[in-house]
Structure 1
Amino acid sequence: MNKVIGVYGASGFGREVVPVIRSSSKAAGAQIVFVDDSASIAGPINGHPVYQWLEFLALNSSEKSVVIAIADARVRLLLADRCREAGIPMFDVTASNIFTGDDIQIGEGCILQPFVTLTSNIVIGRCFHANIYSYVAHDCRIGDFVTFAPGVMCNGNVHIADHAYIGTGAVLRQGSPDKPLTIGEGATIGMGAVVTKDVPPGVTVVGNPARILEK
């Protein structure tokens, strides 16, 4: 093998990511494989072999890279650290039909699925997941290991801290330059929630307008 791209996570999202990688010119000539440490998952899956981590490391390849297709931000962090310690770089996945405007800064290991839009003057951290039809508008700041489920609407001047999860169809109202809307570290925004005010770290909010879900 000359070039191998490992998709860490052989569940639903990983299977969605693989065709996007196949269509990328960056993946030309590469073999795409799944990497999954679950003993219950056997390959091939959709024509691609499945390896556990140590098996993937042992593959005879001149060039390996990994994309982490796992939604759980804490697990993503652990796996990113594992790859870094092994000297294996992240592979950035960007669908051919995404739109990116001016002055977009984005960290390594991103997954930008089809029909994602990033408008202008945006800073995004490491291993960002933006699922289908999500958008990020102007002057947003997004931390590391943040996940957007399908159809997230993140309007301008929103600041999202590390490890936040934004659920399917959630709407984050526009902030302002002097008072951005903030989503705290590790917060979860529920499916379809309409966020009109700041969300503290570590909580889950649901509903319209979004309110903290009491445990």
Structure 2
Amino acid sequence: MFAIYGSGGFGRELIEPAREQLARLRRDPDEIVFIDDNAENWGKTSAGIKILSFDDLKPGDEYVLAIGDGKIRSQLDRKCRNAGLTPTSLHAADAYFGVDTEIGEGSVFCARTMVTASARIGRQFQCNIYSYVAHDCVIGDFVTFAPRVCCNGTIHIADFAYIGAGAVLKQGTSDKPLVIGEGAIVGMGAVVTKNVGPGEVVIGNPATPLKRN
């Protein structure tokens, strides 16, 4: 089975990319199922896809995590691995990947996303519609980009950071990359021109600290 873990809105957004990916691999799109931890949803369908319980999966089944919160994604990833499931990446047909780019397992790249060149991206990265990662960026594990994030060149983003919709991150330099700390949150529409500390929440233009996360 090809399991999308999470049957909410983002999970439904991943149905068509999953169908396209399986078609490219000459696999049956009927392999796609939702996994939901809410017992009330088991046996139902969402957008035509059957909703199953976690216990319905077998070792070797593939999973994609449709959960935006990086810390919850980390917990579910550990749960799936411990059950012998196989993490897989889901890349929309029109996602673009440039030269000399490394991307960890379990990544999700939605439609109209881009990684330009010489980027290093960790495990379970989510890149939502119209977002991009430019040259020489280094991104950690369980990082989330909401739609239309502009991640310009030479930016370092630590594990569990969340970058809100429409945020713009100023390009760094080879000797002084822009740094977004572990677990930081960049609010929607923020324009980040300076480093963001671990756990910090920033909003506005230019982005300023709101509180510690």
- The verdict on a shared fold, with TM-score over 0.5 as the criterion, is yes
Q: What's the TM-score, normalizing by structure 1? A: 0.93
| Equivalent in the alignment of 2:187 | 190
Partner SS state of residue 213, structure 1: strand
Q: What's the TM-score, normalizing by structure 2? A: 0.94
Answering whether residue 49 of structure 2 is matched by residue 48 of structure 1, we say yes
Per-residue deviation at 1:46? 1.1
| Equivalent in the alignment of 1:28 | 27
Per-residue deviation at 1:87? 1.3
Cα gap change, 1:27 to 1:181, in 2 (>3 Å) = farther
| 1:178-213 deviation digits (Å, cap 9, x = unpaired) | 000000000000000000000000011000000011
Per-residue deviation at 1:100? 1.0
Written as runs of structure 1 = structure 2, the 5 A alignment for 1:76-155 is 76-155=73-152
Query: Residue 21 of structure 1 contacts residue 27 of structure 1 at CA under 8 Å; is this kept in 2?
Result: no
Taking the aligned partners of 2:166 and 2:137, their CA distance within structure 1 comes to 18
Per-residue deviation at 1:39? 2.6
Identity score, percent:
48
Amino acid at match of 2:35: V
Of the structure 1 ranges 97-106 and 24-33, higher mean CA displacement relative to structure 2 is found in: 24-33
Q: What CA RMSD, in Å, does the superposition of the two structures yield over aligned residues?
A: 1.4
Query: Residue 159 of structure 1 contacts residue 183 of structure 1 at CA under 8 Å; is this kept in 2?
Result: yes
Taking the aligned partners of 1:55 and 1:117, their CA distance within structure 2 comes to 35
Between the two proteins, the alignment pairs up a number of residues equal to 208
Per-residue deviation at 1:41? 2.8
Answering whether residue 9 of structure 2 is matched by residue 8 of structure 1, we say no
Of the structure 1 ranges 77-86 and 180-189, higher mean CA displacement relative to structure 2 is found in: 77-86
Per-residue deviation at 1:92? 0.8
Taking the aligned partners of 2:135 and 2:160, their CA distance within structure 1 comes to 21
Taking the aligned partners of 1:214 and 1:160, their CA distance within structure 2 comes to 19
Partner SS state of residue 14, structure 1: helix
Of the structure 1 ranges 19-28 and 90-99, higher mean CA displacement relative to structure 2 is found in: 19-28
Q: Which runs of 4+ in 1 moved over 4 A?
A: none
Taking the aligned partners of 2:97 and 2:150, their CA distance within structure 1 comes to 15
Partner SS state of residue 205, structure 2: coil
Unaligned 5+ segments in structure 2 are none
| Equivalent in the alignment of 1:64 | 61
Per-residue deviation at 1:63? 4.9
| 1:130-184 deviation digits (Å, cap 9, x = unpaired) | 0000000000000000000000000000000000000000000000000000000
